[in-house]
Structure 1
């Protein structure tokens, strides 16, 4: 597996890291097996979050008994106060079954008010620095989706790493955010390298190869199967950068995605009315992009609560880091997927 330094920290992290969001879908035994397989195949950077339901617990079971010095463990918290962050760090340590977490990140700092709060007196940064003094964590990072906010955070000099979404069809970070990180020698952790699964398995290899000649430290695709581990790690071991022609071909094939699509981060959940928003959008993607209309409609027909249960309260849109018009998109999904009488076959 190719390795790169994590910015000025110099940690030799694997080019392919392990994103912990996907294993929420697996049972404990299957999740632990995927984590162990990733480590055995050369992955040495694991990332999770307090907000990923039981991801930390499942990763903890996967790393049990494995030499702690052989991998780097990262997670993150949405807490905005010192007290809240310290409580989350304690919980993360317990979930993972470790004394020290290598990297703890202030998660999804998405506006100036949030940044001011985490940096201010009694804010989350203060809690992270206290946790570092106690030996609970080694380094502090930040994550987010808004370039202007992350630029301000980076400029403070408080953070060793920066994590943000970046992929072959979402490249705006190349203009300002990548140079800002380079100037401060920050480790760059790429989330959503497959656009939250929207790029589809047929584009996974090319989407990961896209980063082989980019100035990033580690990319963290979510993995929830042994096949995904093998395929992703193969790119990290043997992959070559995309040619200009290949890049153009992929972008042309994916042009219909635009930027108005769900990345399946699940920050919109839970819906107060029970709609599984990411699943509705996933099925709509199969309907609209992959010529699987009947398949998608059958599975949509099996959903106990469909997208038309939306009461347009708008709570989901306040949570979405991509500012998607979720209510409008749910209407579109239902209009295309709902076929009276269509049910999933048993």
Structure 2
């Protein structure tokens, strides 16, 4: 296993982290809980293979993940690092932070948490809760008492907010952000964080499973036709020198062993290898006949058409060869899901031309939308 310096925390963590949000579960009398026998085997096997960073959260696995992680890792607690998260939606007062921390300590059956995250924050949560309720002071107090070792946050907002957070709260020591070949929007801020000594863990290295599908990307990007898209995805993330760890949600023992093997190989890339992969990705996208950068300047559409998402689905198909991913995502957008109403498409367009006037790439968006939607429906 490869180990990497984790910012200025003074510790080194495994290049592969175990994301404990998808542990196997069982149902008893309508209630779900983690299958402790299976999860014990998976978590301990990961540790045997060198994984030392285990990431859980207050509500993972029907709020049972922390219990499962605590049970499995208790015999080797001093050899591993546990990361968990404070659910900010449950924080309404300064006292709530301590209450939720104590709950997690109890569920994990441990005296301390190595990396305690403000969970899934954005600028609003940061301003109103973390700063507004003086939660940094609470975190520093818990750290002084030895209940947490490091102050962390996970992030879901515009990348520029990362700089805002780190400048306003320099006490933040590590962060967890989305990053993969298909979603590089945080790349610049990942470099900024690393330059300030903040340790960075990447979540979603295989794009939520989108990069698990077989494609010809190995040949296109790494000049290696035998390289699976899955391996390429890990290689890309771990090839970034500003990333300490790629976090993978693992569900089976075989997945643990496969991911460890892939991560061990992925950690050997040179900076030149990573730069070449990055350039190849940019060239693939650039020379697509529909070069939408996803800048979002065409938004908001007066009729609510999510133009960047539709064009992104086409890019999955046309550039990366991810036909099934493109088909499923566009279908979910167009037809809706249990959690999402159907989205507006070109049939709703009123030809106002707002999008084309704003597009820095000068795309013929209205005609392209119709063409792209037909392609996606035919997949």
Q: Which stretch of structure 1 is more off in the superposition, 2-11 or 46-55?
A: 46-55
Alignment equivalent of 1:229, drawn from 252, 256, 259:
256
Matched, 1:88 2:100: yes
Give the paired residue count.
277
TM-score by length of 2: 0.64
Residues 1:166 and 2:171 are matched in the alignment:
no
Residue among 121, 127, 131 paired with 2:138: 127
- Residue 327 in 1 paired to residue 341 in 2? yes
**What is aligned with 1:57?**
67
Structure 1 residues 205-254: Cα deviation after superposition (integer angstroms, max 9, x where no partner): 1111112321211111111111111111112323343673698489969x
Contact 2:119 2:155 in 1 (8 A): yes
Which ranges in structure 2 are unaligned for 5 or more consecutive residues? 26-33, 215-228, 295-316, 329-334, 346-375
Q: Please point out which of 128, 149, 154 is paired with 1:138.
A: 149
Contact persistence 1:210–1:247 (CA under 8 A): no
Distance (Å, rounded) in 2 between the aligned partners of 1:182 and 1:219: 15
Q: Verify the 8 A CA contact 1:106 1:124 in the aligned structure 2.
A: no
Change (3 A) 1:308 1:169: closer
Return the offset for 1:2. 0.6
Give the alignment of 1:185-334 within 5 angstroms.
185-200=197-212, 202=214, 203-214=229-240, 215-239=242-266, 240-241=268-269, 244=276, 248=280, 289-290=323-324, 310=338, 326-328=340-342
1:154 and 2:154 aligned = no
Q: Deviations over 1:91-118 (max 9, x none)?
A: 111111110111101111113x211123
CA–CA distance in 1 between the matches of 2:135 and 2:95?
A: 8
Change (3 A) 1:330 1:20: farther
Is the contact between residue 50 and residue 92 of structure 1 (CA under 8 Å) also seen in structure 2? yes
Match of 2:358 in 1: none
- Which residue is 2:367 aligned to? none
Of residues 125, 144, 147 in structure 2, which corresponds to 1:114?
Answer: 125
| Contact map agreement 1:115 1:149 (CA 8 A) in 2 | no
| 8 Å contact kept, 1:168–1:251 | no
3-state SS in 1 of match to 2:342:
helix
In 2, are the aligned partners of 1:84 and 1:124 still within 8 Å (CA)? no
Give the aligned partner of residue 32 of structure 1.
40
2:51 match:
43
Q: Structure 1-normalised TM-score?
A: 0.70
For structure 1, the residue ranges without an aligned partner over 5 or more in a row are 261-284, 297-306, 311-315, 317-325, 338-346
| Secondary structure class of the residue paired with 1:198 | helix
